[in-house]
Amino acid sequence: MKEGITNILKKSGLSLTDSRRRILQLFLESNNALAHADIEKLSSDQFDRVTVYRTLQTFVEKGIIHTIPSADNAVRYALCQDECSAGHHHDEHVHFVCDVCGATFCLQHTAIPQVQLPNGFKLRQVDVLASGKCNQCA
């Protein structure tokens, strides 16, 4: 796992720092999406707030994590599992938010359904945000 972390950072051309290693580790260990606040708690005041923000920003730019839109307007982040690269994300999968535990999951194996737009509208991207009860809470 330590290997994986270093590799991912190097592959993205990022210098190896404590905060980057630790935050990336948190994502690799978690099976659901993390918000900024989660990371601050989990890294228990090891790093400055600002460092966490900047690290997340960097990871998004490098295609390591992606942001997840949410109905409650709290930004969450999750590992990119497709082949995302710096500047180009390909994470058009369904996201699911559990009403009970609040956990947010990337449903990689759930197809994004077709959307019909009115005349004159040009589609670029579709985000699907499902909510309900997760398999733990149902």
Binding positions for Fe cation: 89, 91
Rule CB under 8 A: say whether 116 interacts with a copy of itself: yes
Provide, rounded to whole angstroms, the least separation between the CB of residue 52 and DNA: 8
What element of type H or E holds 5?
helix 2-11
Q: 24, 33, 34, 47: which one contacts DNA (CB under 7 A)?
A: 47
Rule CB under 7 A: say whether 50 interacts with DNA: yes
State how far the Cα of 54 lies from the Cα of 48, in Å rounded to an integer.
10
Q: 14, 35, 103, 128: which one contacts a copy of itself (CB under 8 A)?
A: 128
Residue of 59, 124, 131 whose CA lies nearest to 94: 131
Q: If contact means CB under 5 to 8 A according to the sort of partner, which of Mn ion, Zn ion, DNA, none does residue 22 touch?
A: none
Query: Do the beta carbons of residue 64 and residue 26 sit within 8 Å?
Result: no
Residues 17-27: b if buried by 16+ CB within 10 A, e if exposed: eebbebbbbeb
Footprint on this chain of a copy of itself (rule: CB under 8 A): 67, 69-71, 73-75, 94, 96, 99, 107, 109-111, 113-135, 138
